[in-house]
Every structure is written in structure tokens, then in C-alpha cells.
Amino acid sequence: MSKTLSDPAKKDRFGVMNNGVTIVASDVRVAGLDISIRDFQIVNGCQTSNMLIAEDDKIQRGVSLMVKLIQADDPNVIDDIVRATNRQSKVEDAQFVSTMSFLKDLEKYFRARGEDEANQLYFERRKGQYSPENIPAVRVFDVREAARCFAATEMMRPDIASRYPNRLTSDLLGEVYDHKHKEEAYYASCYALYRLKLLISNKKFGPRYSKFRWHILAISSQYCGKTFKAAGFKNKFDAIYDLFAANDGEKFAELEMLINMGIPDADISRDVLKSPPFLAEALKRTSSLIDAVTA
């Protein structure tokens, strides 16, 4: 593409030599020279767009770009469009992550799992798919954010969730989203983050704790995993729901104690937070609380 734009004899042909940009929208309306679209997403053209920005000085009058605008709202049709329009080029795993059968199952599970709850959580396979429903953004977890929650609570890798989240939808994609994992693990981990964000925004915890959110999920997962039987729960996930559900009272005090024990100094630098020994020390500090519950 760059060579085409750099060649005076070819730059005017850029529009027909390039696949261009493909946009899918749930509603497309044409009025004269104006086009109005709603709930749109660009499903192909990221590489082209980035290149055009990088080569902006080479773009002159006569250089054109083909844009395909498709009206569709059926998820299966959109998935087929994504596959077809990207067939000619190398595409990152994250671009096709929405086509994975497991994620489709996970989306359905989130829908069914929380349908009777006032603050139901939603798993978003495609950006903006829940926009028409006016669901608060804090209750919508896209593929990347849900992967970060799972990595922190189930993989015990808050460092990756914090520092390298893109790895979770690239080289670690198959490890994160796999049918061998329980779907409830994803919902529970997302619920923990959802509630933690609310507790911070409601000033139950100071805003400085936001940078520790992935480590808080990790120590909470360890705590619930080792104490759920002693606490009378049938599994770790029920214990996680119970631990994060309260805004005050005895259960909130338990979460507060766990966080203060695992992370006694909330003013540490981000460099220390990113160091591998930090999690090990946090888990070690919470062991005494675990011993007290299971004794």
C-alpha cells in the first residue's frame, strides 16, 4: 500500500487495488448525498486505516478509498462478513475471537445466568452489540475485559491482566477461552470486578485501590477457593458472589480485611506492583486469614 501511494503512476489506482474498509451497521439510511448509520462497526480495514494515517503526506487529490457499507443485524451474518472480508489478509486472533463457538456459548450463558438479577452482567462478543438496549457500560464485559477478569481469578495472573491484556486475546487466547473451563468462572470473575468498581466509585474503598483491582481479584479467588467449604458454600464461585455483594456489614468487613491484609500499603509504586514477587507476597499475607476461617 505504501509503495502504491509513493508511485505517481499508481497512486490514483489505490482505490481499486486495495480492499478498502468494510462497515456493518444495523440501520443504514440514505438521504441525497448524506448517509446515516446506527450501531456500526468496522469489520475490515484496520491495516488500511493505520497505513493511510502513517502516509498522510502522500495522500493527494485523486487518491480514493473504497468503502463498503452493509446493513445487517443478524450475528451469524456479521460473523460471516468478518470472515469473508478478511480472507485475503493476515488477521489477528482478536479480530476473529467473536466467531469462536465457545464465546457464543458464553454470551448465551451470561444472558441466561443473570436474567432474574437486577444488575445482570452481559458478555459482549462484538463492540456495541448491546447499545440499543441502553445497558450501563459497567455491566457489559467485552472479550478483552472478561479475559482479564478470568486471568486474574482463575489463572492467577493479575500481572498479565494488568500489563499485557492483549496477550489474552492473541497468543494466550486458546488458554483463556476453552471449553474445559466452567462458564460460571467467567461470570463470577466479571461479577467480582463489577462489584469492586462500584465499591470504589461509591468510596467504600479509596480510588487508589483501582490500580490493584486485578491483584484484589486474585487474592479473593485464592481466599474463596480455600474457605468456601468451611464457610458453608457449595463452590468457590458462590463464595465470591457472597464476598463482593455487600456494601456494608459483616461481609463487607470481611472483604475489607482481606484487601487490607493482602495489600497493606496502597501507596506503592506501579513498578513494584508490576514485579512478580508482589502477588506472591500478597497471597502469603492472606494465608493467616485463610487459616483462621478453615481452622
Tens digit of pLDDT for each residue in 180-197? 999 999 999 999 999 999
Q: Are residues 113 and 211 in the same domain?
A: yes
Higher pLDDT, 270 or 137: 137
The boundaries of the domain holding residue 44 are 2-91
Among 1-5, 101-105, 159-163, 192-196, name the most confident range.
192-196
Predicted confidence at residue 205, as pLDDT, reads 92
Predicted confidence at residue 121, as pLDDT, reads 96
Q: Are residues 265 and 183 in the same domain?
A: yes
Encode pLDDT of 223-282 as tens digits: 999 999 999 999 999 999 999 999 999 999 999 999 999 988 877 777 777 777 888 888
Predicted confidence at residue 232, as pLDDT, reads 94
For residue 177, give the nearest of 105, 248, 119 by alpha carbon: 105
| Residue range 133-140: mean pLDDT, rounded | 91
The domain total for the chain is 2
Give CA–CA dist 248/255, Å, rounded.
10
Tell me how far CA of residue 114 lies from CA of 20, 117, 144, 266, in angstroms: 40, 5, 20, 33
pLDDT band at 89, cuts 50/70/90? very low
Q: Are residues 10 and 121 in the same domain?
A: no
Note whether 238 and 228 are within 8 A (CB): yes
Q: Are residues 19 and 112 in the same domain?
A: no
Q: Are residues 125 and 68 in the same domain?
A: no
Predicted confidence at residue 32, as pLDDT, reads 85
Flag whether pLDDT at 94 surpasses 70: no
Domain end residue (candidates: 91, 111, 139): 91
Flag whether pLDDT at 93 surpasses 50: no
Q: Are residues 74 and 108 in the same domain?
A: no
Flag whether pLDDT at 123 surpasses 80: yes
Q: Are residues 19 and 116 in the same domain?
A: no
Percent of the residues in the chain that have a pLDDT greater than 70, as a whole number:
91
Domain end residue (candidates: 91, 107, 137): 91
Encode pLDDT of 16-58 as tens digits: 777 788 888 878 898 888 899 877 777 777 777 777 787 787 7
Q: Are residues 17 and 120 in the same domain?
A: no
- Residue 161 is which amino acid? A
Predicted confidence at residue 98, as pLDDT, reads 46
Predicted confidence at residue 83, as pLDDT, reads 63
Q: Are residues 84 and 137 in the same domain?
A: no
- Mean of the per-residue pLDDT values for the chain? 85
Predicted confidence at residue 13, as pLDDT, reads 79
pLDDT band at 127, cuts 50/70/90? confident
42 three-state secondary structure: strand
| Residue range 84-93: mean pLDDT, rounded | 53
Task: Give the cell for residue 165.
Answer: 491484556
Domain end residue (candidates: 63, 91, 119): 91
Flag whether pLDDT at 90 surpasses 70: no
Give DSSP secondary structure letters for 112-124: HHTTTSTT--EEE
pLDDT band at 96, cuts 50/70/90? low
Q: Are residues 278 and 231 in the same domain?
A: yes
Q: State the angle between helix axes of 249-262 and 213-227 in degrees (0 to 180), rounded to the nearest 10.
A: 110
Q: Are residues 33 and 178 in the same domain?
A: no
Predicted confidence at residue 87, as pLDDT, reads 53
Q: Which of 21-35, 46-60, 138-152, 209-223 has the lowest mean pLDDT?
A: 46-60
Q: Are residues 123 and 195 in the same domain?
A: yes
Give CA–CA dist 222/259, Å, rounded.
12
